[in-house]
């Protein structure tokens, strides 16, 4: 992980950790890196989510880009995967998404995509960090006719909607579903997308006001969607996060269907249809033990990566796999997208429901979920670094692993996007993993706070 770029771009509190001045510098540094090759006047697309600070940061980044000679195309509010798709379709040299994903409105972030729609590789992120932090090569500011131009293309989003709609393999008539748009980017696309696919659709939390993004809604707060699905006797509910690159689902009984279960039911269907490349899926170290059992029972191989959809994607691209993702709901269908896409994932789940005629609860039951707990311990940035080397923390983890034996596992990791250390345990005994998890978390609090 870099000094500025985490597993999902640069992120911080808007107008504080992520200031306008810093956003200008990021724009300049990104354009300078782009112009270090054959590209002399890059064309950069910018999209944003609905949080109140996104307009401010959009203006700052655009100013930074233009000041060093890059042209800017503004597509307005859009999902992150829409920017990844459109940057390639429209022939831009790079794409920038302004979003803090599932975080609340005071946060914001910056994600950068290459011209092919994939996130920047580590080496390019490191070059941008060098320009920003080490000032190794101050960007050359342009004057006169060499200053970049800004134009808007708010209609580009319709091409993305058409693309996702094209992945529906049948009419969804007869399905009754709800969509929680998290008052985020999906608010501008979900209604236009799903109402034309034949299902009876309901839309929740689709009226963003700049401050209500992810506020008690979306993929991090499923309670409202669960109740709505049950109260209205719907077949399923789908919840996006703020920039709509992830999805969690709810079945007719209000049970949560997480990313592991989504990958399981989709990959099983893909294997049965003969379209699961190499009969292999890619997941992260956070995936439930039940997922590996599912793979073994269904003749599906799996590979694990570090946490972060970028690492899943790198493995998929390198090895030619067609599906992968994270328990948190980032699911990548590489045949259709270069990044996780919540709305695409919803369409694929509905494809499986209609083609099999089975309810979501039965489809998800192909995977037994082992009891799992996650404890987030808030620490400083220095604490995140120290966590990896602290001997007392290592000792507490080792003792827990010995007590669990082969019936469970322990994973302690630092968050790539937040000031947190995450303590995850899973195993057959729910009470045991809860006790051991609290003991490890307490040691971390004592040592790092």
Query: What is the DSSP secondary-structure string of 342-370?
Result: HHHHHHHHHHHHHHH---HHHHHTTSPPP
Catalytic positions are 101
Per-residue pLDDT, 123: 86
Cα–Cα dist 189/176, whole Å: 19
pLDDT per residue over 143-196, tens digit each? Answer: 999 999 999 998 999 999 999 999 999 999 999 999 999 999 999 999 999 999
Low-confidence ranges of the chain (pLDDT < 70): 1-3, 7, 136, 449
Q: Rounded to whole angstroms, how far apart are CA atoms 262 and 266? A: 6
Element (H, E) at 448: helix 430-448
H-helix or E-strand containing 203? strand 200-204
Q: Quick check: 58 and 46 in contact, CB under 8 A?
A: yes
Instruction: State whether the Cα torsion 230-234-235-241 is positive or negative.
Output: negative
Long-range pairs, 86-92, Cβ under 8 A, ≥24: 86/45, 86/47, 86/156, 86/157, 86/159, 86/160, 87/45, 87/113, 87/114, 87/115, 87/117, 88/115, 88/116, 88/117, 88/338, 89/159, 90/45, 90/153, 90/156, 91/43, 91/115, 92/43, 92/44, 92/45
Does this model's pTM top 0.85? My answer is: yes
**What's residue 384's pLDDT?**
82
User: Tell me: the pLDDT tens digits for 357-374?
Assistant: 999 999 999 999 999 899
- Which of 417, 413, 420 has its CA nearest to residue 379? 420
Please give the pLDDT value at position 407. 82
Q: List the domains of the chain with CATH numbers.
A: 10-155 (3.40.120.10), 167-364 (3.40.120.10), 372-448 (3.30.310.50)
Distance, CA of 262 to chain centre: 15
Residue 119 DSSP class: B
Q: Is 412 helix (H, G, I), strand (E, B) or coil?
A: strand
Task: Report the pLDDT value the prediction gives residue 1, as an integer from 0 to 100.
Answer: 44
Q: Which residues contact 398 (CB under 8 A, 6 or more apart)?
A: none
Six-digit token string for 36:
């270090």
């Amino acid at each position: 992980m870099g000094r500025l770029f985490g597993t999902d771009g640069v992120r911080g509190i808007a107008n504080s950790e992520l200031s306008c001045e810093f956003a200008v510098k990021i724009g300049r540094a990104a354009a300078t890196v782009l112009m270090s090759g054959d590209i002399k006047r890059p064309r950069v697309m910018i999209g944003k989510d609905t949080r109140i600070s996104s307009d401010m940061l959009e203006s700052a980044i655009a100013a930074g880009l233009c000041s060093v000679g890059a042209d800017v195309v503004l597509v307005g509010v859009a999902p992150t995967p829409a920017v990844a798709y459109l940057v390639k379709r429209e022939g831009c040299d790079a794409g920038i998404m302004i979003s803090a994903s599932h975080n609340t409105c005071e946060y914001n972030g910056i994600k950068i995509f290459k011209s092919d729609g994939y996130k920047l590789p580590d080496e390019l992120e490191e070059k941008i960090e060098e320009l920003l932090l080490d000032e190794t090569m101050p960007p050359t500011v342009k004057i006169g006719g060499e200053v970049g131009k800004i134009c808007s293309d708010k209609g580009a989003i319709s091409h993305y909607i058409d693309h996702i709609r094209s992945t529906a393999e049948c009419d969804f008539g007869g399905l009754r579903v709800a969509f929680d748009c998290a008052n985020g980017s999906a608010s501008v696309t979900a209604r236009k997308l799903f109402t034309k696919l034949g299902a009876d659709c309901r839309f929740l939390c689709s009226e963003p006001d700049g401050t209500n993004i992810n506020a008690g809604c979306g993929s991090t707060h499923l309670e409202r969607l669960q109740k709505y699905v049950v109260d209205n006797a719907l077949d399923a509910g789908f919840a996006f996060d703020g920039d709509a690159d992830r999805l969690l689902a709810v079945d007719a009984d209000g049970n949560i269907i997480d990313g592991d279960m989504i990958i399981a039911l989709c990959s099983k269907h893909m294997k049965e249809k003969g379209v699961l490349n190499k009969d292999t899926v890619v997941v992260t170290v956070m995936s439930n033990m039940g997922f590996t059992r599912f793979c073994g029972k269904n003749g599906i191989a799996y590979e694990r990566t570090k946490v972060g959809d970028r690492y899943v994607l790198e493995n998929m691209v390198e090895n030619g796999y067609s599906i992968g993702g994270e328990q948190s709901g980032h699911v990548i269908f590489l045949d259709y997208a270069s990044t996780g896409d919540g709305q695409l994932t919803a369409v694929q789940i509905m494809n499986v429901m209609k083609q099999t005629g089975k309810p979501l609860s039965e489809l998800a039951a192909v995977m037994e979920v082992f009891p799992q707990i996650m404890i987030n311990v808030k620490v400083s940035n220095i604490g995140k670094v120290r966590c990896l080397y602290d001997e007392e923390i290592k000792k507490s983890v080792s003792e827990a692993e010995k007590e669990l034996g082969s019936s469970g596992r322990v994973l302690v990791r630092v968050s790539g996007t937040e000031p947190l250390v995450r303590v995850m345990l899973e195993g057959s005994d729910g009470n045991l993993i809860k006790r051991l998890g609290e003991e490890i978390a307490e040691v971390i609090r004592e040592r790092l706070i």
